[in-house]
Structure 1
Amino acid sequence: MPTPATPVDPAFGSAFVVGEALIDIVVDGDSTVEHPGGSPLNVAYGLSRLGVSTTLRAEIGQDPRGRALEEHLAAGGVVLDPASRSADRTSTAVATIQPDRHAEYEFDLSWAPGPIVPPAGVALVHTGSIASVLRPGSDDVLRLFIASQESVLLSFDPNVRPGVTPARDEVLAAVDALAAVAHVVKMSDEDAAWLHPDLSLGAVVDRYLAAGAALVAITRGADGALVATSDDRLSLASLPVEVVDTIGAGDAFMSGLLFALLSRGLAGVVQSGALSRPDLEAVAATALASARVTVSRAGANPPTPSELARLAR
């Protein structure tokens, strides 16, 4: 069982995560194993495991895989929004582990949540990946962000999946619409290269800061991460780690980053665009430590509080 988390100070608020919850069917050579997955589910689980009171709005079926997802979320302390139990069947993603240990995905899913209503009193709303670009649900997500932009910290990770939404121009338009109202925008270097093939990573950062984001982070796998505000820009290296697989690594970075912002009481600071360099360094270090734990073991298995504290010191 996971180490019980010390709850984040309730005064710093709770989190509401919106997006896909699915079963990852991981094919690694002759082995096939099923894990709970989906980028938003992973972020919600990672936040809750670190002590942030977290609710997930997803779509799952009332089938064995859906029950497996519910059990996984309950074990991590995530509250499943009751409206999530609305799908005909639970979505799946076949993740095939390649010789260099990264995963390639094939998806079978749908996303049509309808109106999305966050719980009262949340301090953070996060979305990303397929839920942010796959219609009709992506339109519902955008409406939620527009309605919430003045009241809560908004976080967005495009986590693009060309195998599901291959039309780059349409994906970029959806990403830009959400990024225009989000306070935190995070993506991988692979996301950046696909969305903006003619731009350097630095230029991608500039683009999203200019669009209105207060904090932009680009992960670079084993090369660490680039994090920036309008006042500061840091290039941080990753510490060495033996990689088992990269499933959930970006999501663990995201949940670690958001946990650090909430636990330090920085949600309002980020919204106002006043994050200091020491705070930027601290939250980025926590995010990198969270990802490091996750790649060191199979599946999307984010850190416990004790693991994160040990690495983030």
Structure 2
Amino acid sequence: MNDIALVVGEALVDVVRDLGGGERDHPGGSAANAAVALARLGRPVWFATAYADDAHGRLLADHLAANDVQLAVDPHVIARTATAVATLGEDGAATYEFDIDWRLPAVRLPDDARPVVVAWGSIGAALEPGASAVRDLVAALRSQALTYFDVNARPAITGTGADVARRAEEMVAVADLVKASDEDLAALWPDEPEDAIVARLLDLGAGAVIVTRGAAGASWVSRQGRADVGMPPVTVSDTIGAGDTLGAAAVDELWRRGVAGAGAAERLAGLTLEEAADVVRYAISAAAVTVSRPGADPPHRHELPVPAAGA
């Protein structure tokens, strides 16, 4: 059997508007960015997504193929490929306007492909009719894989409120590892302190939660405690794809340490805080490369430092 990562979720085209009024198209989408990031780190990746047979869809197909991302579906189940108009601010941060339809095609993997990592999140975990199908797929695979959920809230598409937060919590309940930015937590649970939110995510079933804080770095929180890791100095081009890269690199490093496949949840729970900090440090180093160049352009393995010794 061949151990693979199955990534599930949206693929879209980022139409990036810069401060000078120029526009450029970048293939993207949170799940697509994560799939490419994992593939560039040398992992065999199969991707379940949806896009149309149009110019933007062909841009996505060419991008995925060029990065050795295999399709686990026939993606042509929507009429128009999704787009996100990303307007860059002076600090390189992007604000988005979306035109998106999301549904999950039937997933078909080769008989010799065994998902030992399942990664999903963002729009694909929040927008129906696809979100419920995604959750059912993850739940069916959880016993044999490390399951990773990236909250990556998009209030401009889903809105906010109790129903949106409840759907995110349903996804957390089938996740071993959860990633959320401090902004995600504030958007979905605005009346609660961060520590209380993270504690509830752990109570729902997550083995660990990574909270990202932009230029301030990220924190790993588990039953073992908390580890904080800073962001190295970096000249920011834009922040598109930074969180997707960070999550993918964290999964890659956990996989390297044997936290994948059947029993991954138990091995994740057994990580020491020192080991967890090394995982986050490696993940941040990958995100730092992505923010240093335009669009969602995650690093290849050779662009990153050698990971710390692990299992």
Q: What are the Cα deviations for residues 7-47 of structure 1, in whole angstroms up to 9, with x where unaligned?
A: xxx97x31000000010000012210000010000000000
Matched-pair contact (CA < 8 Å) for 1:114–1:140: no
Q: Relative to structure 1, is the Cα distance of residues 198 and 56 closer, same or farther in structure 2, using a 3 angstrom cutoff?
A: same
Q: Which amino acid aligns with 1:271?
A: A
Q: CA RMSD in A?
A: 1.8
Q: Which amino acid aligns with 1:213?
A: A
> 2: CA distance between counterparts of 1:116 and 1:140?
11
Which residue of structure 2 lines up, in the alignment, with residue 304 of structure 1? 300
Which residue of structure 1 lines up, in the alignment, with residue 90 of structure 2? 99
Which residue of structure 1 lines up, in the alignment, with residue 7 of structure 2? 17
Mapping for residues 1-40 of structure 1, pairs under 5 Å: 13-29=3-19, 30-40=21-31
Q: Relative to structure 1, is the Cα distance of residues 312 and 65 closer, same or farther in structure 2, using a 3 angstrom cutoff?
A: farther
Matched-pair contact (CA < 8 Å) for 2:49–2:105: no
Matched-pair contact (CA < 8 Å) for 1:285–1:312: no
Which residue of structure 2 lines up, in the alignment, with residue 108 of structure 1? 99
Deviation at 1:199, TM superposition (A): 2.5
Mapping for residues 97-136 of structure 1, pairs under 5 Å: 97-117=88-108, 120-136=113-129
- 1:76 lines up with 2:67 in the alignment: yes
- 1:289 lines up with 2:282 in the alignment: no
- Secondary structure at 1:104 match in 2: strand
- 1:90 lines up with 2:81 in the alignment: yes
Range moving further from structure 2, 119-128 or 285-294: 119-128
Q: Which amino acid aligns with 1:80?
A: L
> 2: CA distance between counterparts of 1:84 and 1:312?
38
- Secondary structure at 1:121 match in 2: strand
- 1:215 lines up with 2:208 in the alignment: yes
Mapping for residues 99-248 of structure 1, pairs under 5 Å: 99-117=90-108, 120-248=113-241
Q: Which amino acid aligns with 1:21?
A: A
> 2: CA distance between counterparts of 1:201 and 1:278?
22
> 2: CA distance between counterparts of 1:212 and 1:311?
28
Range moving further from structure 2, 218-227 or 96-105: 96-105
- Secondary structure at 1:61 match in 2: coil
- Secondary structure at 2:144 match in 1: coil
> 2: CA distance between counterparts of 1:168 and 1:127?
21
- 1:278 lines up with 2:271 in the alignment: no
> 2: CA distance between counterparts of 1:145 and 1:310?
31
Matched-pair contact (CA < 8 Å) for 2:72–2:108: no
Q: Which amino acid aligns with 1:150?
A: S
Range moving further from structure 2, 191-200 or 155-164: 191-200
Q: How many pairs were matched up?
A: 303
Deviation at 1:278, TM superposition (A): 3.1
Q: Percent identity of the aligned residues? A: 41
Matched-pair contact (CA < 8 Å) for 2:219–2:229: yes
> 1: CA distance between counterparts of 2:27 and 2:294?
12
Q: Relative to structure 1, is the Cα distance of residues 242 and 53 closer, same or farther in structure 2, using a 3 angstrom cutoff?
A: same
- Secondary structure at 2:155 match in 1: coil
Deviation at 1:281, TM superposition (A): 1.8
Q: What are the Cα deviations for residues 24-81 of structure 1, in whole angstroms up to 9, with x where unaligned?
A: 0000122100000100000000000000100111001111111111111111111122
Q: Relative to structure 1, is the Cα distance of residues 158 and 237 closer, same or farther in structure 2, using a 3 angstrom cutoff?
A: same
TM-score normalised to the size of structure 2? 0.92
Q: Which amino acid aligns with 1:22?
A: L
- 1:252 lines up with 2:245 in the alignment: yes
TM-score normalised to the size of structure 1? 0.92
In structure 1, runs of 5+ residues without a counterpart are 1-9
Q: Relative to structure 1, is the Cα distance of residues 262 and 290 closer, same or farther in structure 2, using a 3 angstrom cutoff?
A: same
Q: Which amino acid aligns with 1:308?
A: L
Range moving further from structure 2, 99-108 or 182-191: 99-108
- Secondary structure at 1:291 match in 2: helix
> 2: CA distance between counterparts of 1:60 and 1:92?
10
In structure 2, runs of 5+ residues without a counterpart are none
> 2: CA distance between counterparts of 1:138 and 1:254?
20
Deviation at 1:116, TM superposition (A): 4.0
